[in-house]
Chain A
Amino acid sequence: MDKTVNQKAWFLVLPVFLVVAFSAVLPLMTVVNYSMQDTFGNNQFFWNGVGWFKELLDPSTDLGGRFLASLGRNLFFSLVILAIEVPLGIVVALSMPREGWTVAACLVILALPLLIPWNVVGTIWQIFGRPDIGLLGYVLNAMGVDYNYVSNDFDAWVTVIVMDVWHWTSLVALLCYAGLKSIPEAYYQAAQIDGASRWAVFKAIQLPKMNRVLLIAVLLRFMDSFMIYTEPFVVTGGGPGNSTTFVSIELVKIALGQFDLGKAAALSLVYNLIILIVCWVFYTVMTNAGVERKVQAESGPAVEPKPSPGLKPVPALKPKEGVA
């Protein structure tokens, strides 16, 4: 089913374009404008050229040091939570009950953390982890672990990571579950006839079918963890010291705390650029994955699941054109 070329389709897209342009392009222009200037309050602005950018990328200055340190922390945080949440999410998705009312119950409970306002997520863990009134902190301390996320860097990190795992693993699990649900029963039957092991079924049937949704999951999780703000802000306030100050927290500190518009704007642009690049890489990978499948499906004969003794990866049944 090929799409027809129709330039009039622009009329259908126009409302979206206008709404998003109003919210995205206008403010971004303001940011670009600010990033080139310095202000001494009273709405007096002075041309500063690329000064802020130079400072930002130079670790020896105050601004650059803070930015690069928070960027490093943020990248490390994103990698850690991806390394935990993706495998855990797959395992949870594979553990979903097959049918009956328990499926709906599990889905609802899984989705619950996703619908809690982010500051409340912070509040929940702030309370839960406190050594005096929180269950977690109390139990840990009673067991002899000296746990206090307010004063200890390591504990603060663990709290923030566990909180993120609590908050977002469900998203990965739900995505993977959706991918698993789309596998036709015939695949499993064929694998059973071939006497494939559990692991072989996972590697050759389930994992390839989850490819697509896993990409979405990794993309969403990376992006959202890379711009995380509210939850760590509520729990640790970026501390102790600066140990859990991520890029967004640093940015808000500079922009709304110190009202240093020029610095904040320069930081915003670099921050946005990093996100744009990562986003583009993912997008290209996703689009190419879609195209490759299409080519495979068209050139290869039937895409019947015929697991050979070696159980080669089974190509997708429904190749879909386009993105994601």
Chain B
Amino acid sequence: MHSIPGRRLIMGLFLVFLLLPIYWLVNMSFKTNSEIVSTMTLWPHTPTLQHYKRIFTDESWYSGYINSLEYVVLNTIISISVALPAAYAFSRYRFLGDKHLFFWLLSNRMAPAAVYALPFFNLYSAIGLFDTPWAVALAHCIFNVPLAVWILEGFVSGVPREIDETAFLDGYSFPRFFIKILVPLIASGIGVAAFFCFMFSWVELLLARTLTSVQTKPIAAIMTRTVSAAGMDWGLLAAAGVLTIIPGALVIWFVRNYIARGFALGRV
């Protein structure tokens, strides 16, 4: 009754469709460049770790990962900490302009990054944050904060209001109630929201590339360097690509039980 006939076949085919291109990337990252260019092989015949070795030993390569992680973590912390109180307010109270504010937030989530690239460049240059992780972290807030508010609001609404009232009757002050009672109650929601902030900040490239130049180049920008006069360094590019998939795959594993609900933004 629940599912459709032939579901195993459909699911299997779809998963193969999803995994095949990724497999090809992994496959290439273990090949030597001469093998990539000269022959078509379904698996590496002369497997090599040279590309990974190069990335892990060359500072200009691995610093890219550190830079990316730096602004992603910063952004996640900022987004969650400002979004939490707001989510509570949207879920519990009605106040002047609340609906407009919510729509305005939502519309920022939808704003194209290309529109903001240039003004951000001017803005962060003017206040001296250009080429620091802060610039990217703050810039990514434009789509992550609304998203975090949206997700957390759904989770806060799932907490019965009686809990708030009981806590206040017991003499809890608002901050104490917030930290001691509410936050533990929606811990899974915070996890999901953090996961989404991490994800969208991690995958974004345009702003991250525009707002950095030398010191804090994200890995995505460094990857473009594999194009050189001697042609593409395909193996190195593939290895760098594989390494960018790993953090996401790790994070996903931790929130796998909440993924579905999280993607529905906490409101199913």
Contact = CB atoms under 8 A, between A and B. Distances in A.
A198 B4 contact: yes
Contact of B244 (A9, A94, A95, A117): A117
Interface stretch (B6-14, B52-60, B183-191): B6-14
Contacts of B93: 3-6, 9
Contacts of B203: 114-118
Main secondary structure of the interface of B (DSSP, over half): helix
B102 to A, nearest CB: 6
Contacts of A10: 89, 95-96
A118 B220 CA distance: 9
A116 B37 contact: no
Interface string A211-237: 011001000000100110110000000
A281 B210 CA distance: 32
Identify which of B24, B119, B244 gathers the most chain A CB atoms within 10 Å of its CB.
B119
A248 B249 contact: no
A134 B5 CA distance: 34
A285 interface: no
Given A13-B90, A120-B245, A124-B22, A320 B157 contact: yes
Interface string B189-221: 000000000010011111000100000000110
Nearest to B218: A117
Given A128-B24, A216-B264, A115 B2 contact: no
Contacts of A79: none
Nearest to A30: B119
B256 A108 contact: yes
A135 B23 CA distance: 10
A26 B257 contact: no
Chain B interface residue count: which class? 35 or more
Contacts of B103: 279-280, 283
A201 B242 CA distance: 42
Given A110-B18, A251-B114, A119 B259 contact: no
Contact of B108 (A1, A12, A20, A212): A20
A182 B113 CA distance: 34
A264 interface: yes
A247 B105 CA distance: 23
A28 B122 CA distance: 12
Interface stretch (A51-59, A268-276, A304-312): A268-276
A20 B95 contact: no
User: What 10 A-B pairs are tightest by C-beta distance, nearest first?
Assistant: A115-B248, A27-B119, A227-B112, A95-B7, A178-B264, A12-B89, A9-B93, A12-B85, A9-B89, A248-B114
